[in-house]
Amino acid sequence: MNLIENIKLAFASLKSNKMRALLTMLGIIIGVSSVIMINTLGSIMENSVTDTFDSQGGSNLIGFQITMKKDAARDYLMPDDFISEEMIESVEQRFADDINVVSVMYGSENGTTRHKRETLDLVIYGVSPGYIKQSMTEVIAGRYINDKDIRKGGKVCAISNKQAIKLYGSVKDAIGQTLSIKMYGSMYDFTVVGVYEYRMTGMMSAMVNAMGEDWNNEVYIPYTTLSEMYGETDPTFYYFYVHINDGVDAESFASDVKNYMNNRYYRNNDSIEIFYQTAEAQMSMMSQVLGVVSMVISVIAGISLVVGGIGVMNIMLVSVTERTREIGVRKALGAPNSAIRSQFIIESIIICLIGGLIGIIFGVLLGNLIGIIVGTMASPSVGAILLAVSFSMAIGIFFGYYPANRAAKLDPIEALRYE
C-alpha cells in the first residue's frame, strides 16, 4: 500500500466529516499559531530592544542619578540634593581617561511657533553637547549644540528634518534661519544651527513614525540657555549620563564614580545619594522580561499542543471504532497489519499537519497584525515554521500510533462481525 493512496484515503475520510476534523485540529491550530506568533513577536521585540540599545551607545552608556538613602531622614528634595555642574566637572576631571563624553538633559519645556497662520507645538529640551549620543538622532546638516553654546548660553537650536522641511522647505535652507518660540508667554528668537534625523529601526522607528509630528517636534537648545530662562543661574540635575571609552569596564567605572561622588558630595547628606545603572543591566532586565513572557506563552502553547494531540488520539479511536467493519473487510481482502497501521497513522499525521499549517497561517497573520500596529511587518523564522511542521507531524505520529496499532491488531473475524 503506497503513501499516495494512504494520503488520498486520509483526505477522503476527513472530507466526509469536515466539522469533526476541524474541531479535532483546534488544539493543534491554537498551539502552533501561538508558537509562531510568539516567534514573530519575539523577533520584532528583540530587534527593537537591541536597536535602541545600540543607538543609545550600547554598553558604553552609564546613567547616574540621585536616589533616596535607605535610612533617609526626609521624603522630599532640597536644592542641595541635586547634581551640580561643579560635581559633573570634577567627575570629568577625575576620570578624564575613561570618559568619552558626559551628557545631561536639564529639562524640557512646551512651546509653540507660528507658521503660515498655524500654531505648531514644540518640545524644547535643554541639553549638553554629549546628549546626541543617546538621543537616537544624528545631525544631517549644520551642527549640534556645542561647548561654546553652553558657555555663552546662546539662543541656538537644532531641529528635526521634518520640521526643517515643513518650516523652511528643505534641510539645507533651515540652517541660519531664525525660529521664534513662544514660552511662558514670551517670545524668544533662536538661530537654527543644525538639523537632526532619527536613526532607528524596528519597533522604535515604527513608534516614532506612528507618533509622527509629535516626535519630530523636539527642539534641542543649550541647557544653560534653558536654565537662564527659568531664572536659575547655576543649573542642577536630577541625573546625568556618561559615555565611557571603549575598553573601560563599565561596572567598575560606574561604582568608582558612584563612590567618588558619594564620598565627596553626599557624605553629609542625610537623605540622598548617587546610584547608577549601566545599559547592560537595563538590557538584561529587558531580555529577562521578554524571556519570561515567551516562556509563559510557550508553556501555554505546549499544553495546548498536548491537549490537541489527545484530541486527535480520541478522534482516531472513534474513527477506528466506527470503521471496525471496514478494517475487517480490508484484512479479508489481504491488507497486512502494517498497511492498516500506516493508513491510520497517516490519517492522524494529515489531521495534525493541516492543523499545523492553519496554525502557521494564523500565527503569521496575528503576529503581523501586531506588527502592523507597531508599524513593522515581521515573518516568523524558517526554523520556527519547520519546527512547527515537524512538531505537528510528531504529534500526529505519537498520538496516532496507539489508535492505529489498535486498528492493526483487530481480529479480522471479529471486525467483520462488528455491527
The residue within the footprint of other proteins, chosen from 165, 326, 361, 362 (CB under 8 A), is 326
- Closest CB to other proteins among residues 3, 382: 3
**Positions in 1-60 near other proteins (CB under 8 A):** 1-2, 5, 12-13, 16
- Closest CB to other proteins among residues 155, 341: 341
CB of 385 vs other proteins, minimal distance in Å? 33
- Backbone phi, psi, residue 5, to 5°: -60, -40
Residue type, 156: V
CB of 47 vs other proteins, minimal distance in Å? 50
The residue within the footprint of other proteins, chosen from 336, 372, 377, 390 (CB under 8 A), is 336
What SS3 state is found at 376? coil
- Residues contacting 243, CB < 8 A, separation 6+: 57, 60, 61, 62, 99, 100, 101, 102, 103, 130, 133, 134
Of 305, 353, 371, 362, the closest CA to residue 40 belongs to 371
CB of 336 vs other proteins, minimal distance in Å? 4
- Asked whether the beta carbons of 314 and 377 are under 8 A apart, the reply is no
Of 162, 129, 126, the closest CA to residue 143 belongs to 129
CA dihedral of residues 232, 233, 238, 243 (deg, nearest 10):
140
Find the part of the chain contacting other proteins (CB under 8 A) among 177-185, 255-263, 267-275, 335-343: 335-343
The residue within the footprint of other proteins, chosen from 338, 369, 372, 377 (CB under 8 A), is 338
The residue within the footprint of other proteins, chosen from 151, 325, 372, 377 (CB under 8 A), is 325
d(CA 208, CA 213): 9
Find the part of the chain contacting other proteins (CB under 8 A) among 37-45, 259-267, 382-390, 411-419: 411-419
Give the helix/strand (H/E) hosting 215. Answer: helix 213-216
Total residues contacting other proteins (rule CB under 8 A)? 23
Counting Cα atoms < 13 Å in the Cβ hemisphere of 36 gives 31
Residue 233 engages other proteins in binding (rule: CB under 8 A): no
- Asked whether the beta carbons of 151 and 228 are under 8 A apart, the reply is no
Q: Rounded to whole angstroms, what are the CA distances from 206 to 199, 202, 331, 417?
A: 11, 6, 62, 67
CB of 405 vs other proteins, minimal distance in Å? 14
Residue type, 175: I
Residue 147 engages other proteins in binding (rule: CB under 8 A): no
CA 348-354-358 angle, 5° bins? 145
Residue 68 engages other proteins in binding (rule: CB under 8 A): no
Of 109, 75, 130, 276, the closest CA to residue 182 belongs to 109
The residue within the footprint of other proteins, chosen from 332, 372, 377, 386 (CB under 8 A), is 332
Residue 321 engages other proteins in binding (rule: CB under 8 A): no
The residue within the footprint of other proteins, chosen from 3, 19, 96, 333 (CB under 8 A), is 333
- Closest CB to other proteins among residues 16, 119: 16
Residue 406 engages other proteins in binding (rule: CB under 8 A): no
Q: Rounded to whole angstroms, what are the CA distances from 80 to 127, 162, 238, 320, 374?
A: 21, 40, 11, 82, 43
Enter the DSSP assignment of 64.
Answer: E
- Kind of pairing, strands 61-68 and 83-84? unpaired
d(CA 413, CA 320): 16
- Asked whether the beta carbons of 84 and 241 are under 8 A apart, the reply is no
Find the part of the chain contacting other proteins (CB under 8 A) among 54-62, 158-166, 331-339, 347-355: 331-339
Residue 382 engages other proteins in binding (rule: CB under 8 A): no
Residue 318 engages other proteins in binding (rule: CB under 8 A): no
- Closest CB to other proteins among residues 9, 167: 9
Find the part of the chain contacting other proteins (CB under 8 A) among 51-59, 106-114, 125-133, 408-416: 408-416
- Closest CB to other proteins among residues 205, 319: 319
CB of 334 vs other proteins, minimal distance in Å? 2
The residue within the footprint of other proteins, chosen from 120, 175, 306, 339 (CB under 8 A), is 339
Residues that bind other proteins (CB under 8 A): 1-2, 5, 12-13, 16, 325-326, 328-339, 412-413, 416
